[in-house]
Structure 1
Amino acid sequence: MNESPEKQARWDRRMEAPLAVASLLYLTGYAVRVLAHGLDQVWLDLCLAVTLAAWGVFVLDYAVRLRLSGLGPLRFVRAHVLGTVVLLLPLLRPLQMVKIYEKIQRRRDKPRLTLYARVMAYSSLTVALLGFAGALAVYQRERGAPGATIRTFGDALWWAAETLTTVGYGDVTPVTPVGRIIAVGMMACGVALLGAVTGSFSSWLIQTFTREDEKRPPGNYPGAS
């Protein structure tokens, strides 16, 4: 009997809370290092140690999952592309907190919210976390660059909102190569999230109108003679 899937499920349950805490610590430590200007070096070093320790938890989790999967490294990477990307870009890791929100919304193994409401809620959480993380990363790269238009964290938040909503006024734009790479990723995420929300809302409307039509007596329709 192959116990690997069962072991993986036990590991997933065991690591849910530690990974959520590590994600919050990583984002907090990174945010303090970026935003707390003039902070004593000892506190900056402490924040760096916290972020590195949190990233160490991510690496440990990835390594254990690789071992429990029974796959070779290349096959595991191909099967877990998103997990590999998140490991290399730890700022995306706080999005794992959405899983915790999903469990809170469940009662007796049944979601407390409908599918469409969950899509809307998860999308909102994802936008908030991704926008904050993206603003931090862009602000860190852009604030001292020659010719930069993103000079304050407020500018970075405004830019993140423009990018995720695909509005793109163009009043503030990244000028560094890394900043532009982050912008491309934010644009792709924004398009995907808007598509998910729009599609879910449209499906909900169609389902609602269909149920109303099914409840009407035959012939009781507008324009029916």
Structure 2
Amino acid sequence: MHDTAHSRLQRWEDRTELPLLAASLLFLAGYAVLVLADGTQGPWRDVGLLAVAVTWACFVLDYAVRLRLSRLRPLRFVRRHWLDTVVLVLPLLRPLRVVKVYAAVRRRHDQPRLSLHARVITYAGLSAALLGFAGALAVYQQERGAAGASIRTFGDAVWWACATLTTVGYGDVAPVTPLGRVIAAALMACGLALLGAVTGSFASWLLDVFGREGDDEAPGR
């Protein structure tokens, strides 16, 4: 029974991976419209609100279906899938789901993993870009108009997000509001996680390549 539930859950996740990725991009686009079009006239805010509401409903539906397919009690499901729960509450963190892909790579020690490594590296790179964009939007929303803020424009927020994700930290612009600093701390942690996934997968891929080359050369010696 457990194996059947697990296989059903796995099939559902495989089928919904790309649609949920598209929904994540639509959610981010809607949120960007809400932040950047703040105070402007026209239907843009309504469009942004609709996109955010519809995509968030899709995330809730996916979570409910996976809870049902898992056949686990709600509290046990939440403990086992804590990252999915956090992402449901804060959809801007959906790029962090790359951690699950990276874990799948680490588990498959007895299977060819080159395609999986490439997938993790590509997904993590895109996720870092999306997460940086989302962080810039969130910080800009909190910092604009704040007393003593150095992040006055969205361009300032993007520059700050790039410096934070790459752990450079120039310090020329920084959030001053309490919530802005919380977002900054979360972005630092997320950036380290994504960079760790990229570097770890790339190093493991290089070891696989060199190991196969060594196996090919051994019989000829």
TM-score bracket, normalised by the shorter chain, equals 0.7 to 0.9
- In the alignment, is the contact (CA less than 8 A) between 2:24 and 2:55 conserved in 1? yes
Does residue 58 (structure 1) correspond to residue 59 (structure 2)? The answer is: yes
Cα deviation, residue 64, structure 1: 1.8
User: What's 1:222 paired with?
Assistant: none
TM-score (norm 2): 0.79
Shift in CA distance, 10/211, structure 1 to aligned 2, threshold 3 Å: closer
Structure having the higher helix fraction is 2
| Higher CA-based Rg | 1
For 1:130, the aligned partner's letter is: L
Shift in CA distance, 60/117, structure 1 to aligned 2, threshold 3 Å: closer
Render the CA deviation track for 1:29-77: whole Å, top value 9, x for unaligned: 1111111255325331231122112111111111122122222221111
Shift in CA distance, 177/201, structure 1 to aligned 2, threshold 3 Å: same
Cα distance between partner residues in 2 of 1:38 and 1:172:
24
Percent identical: 64
User: What's 2:175 paired with?
Assistant: 174
User: What's 2:33 paired with?
Assistant: 32
Cα deviation, residue 83, structure 1: 0.3
User: What's 1:67 paired with?
Assistant: 68
Shift in CA distance, 59/69, structure 1 to aligned 2, threshold 3 Å: same
Does residue 161 (structure 1) correspond to residue 125 (structure 2)? The answer is: no
Please provide the CA RMSD for this pair. Answer: 3.1
Cα distance between partner residues in 1 of 2:54 and 2:81:
23
1:73-222 pair list within 5 angstroms: 73-93=74-94, 114-206=115-207, 215=217
Cα distance between partner residues in 1 of 2:140 and 2:125:
22
Cα deviation, residue 204, structure 1: 4.6
Cα distance between partner residues in 1 of 2:132 and 2:214:
40
User: What's 1:103 paired with?
Assistant: none
Does residue 4 (structure 1) correspond to residue 5 (structure 2)? The answer is: yes
- In the alignment, is the contact (CA less than 8 A) between 1:29 and 1:47 conserved in 2? yes
Count, aligned residues: 209
Cα distance between partner residues in 2 of 1:197 and 1:16:
20
**Structure 2, unaligned stretches of length 5 or more?**
101-110
TM-score (norm 1): 0.78
SS in 2 for 1:141: helix
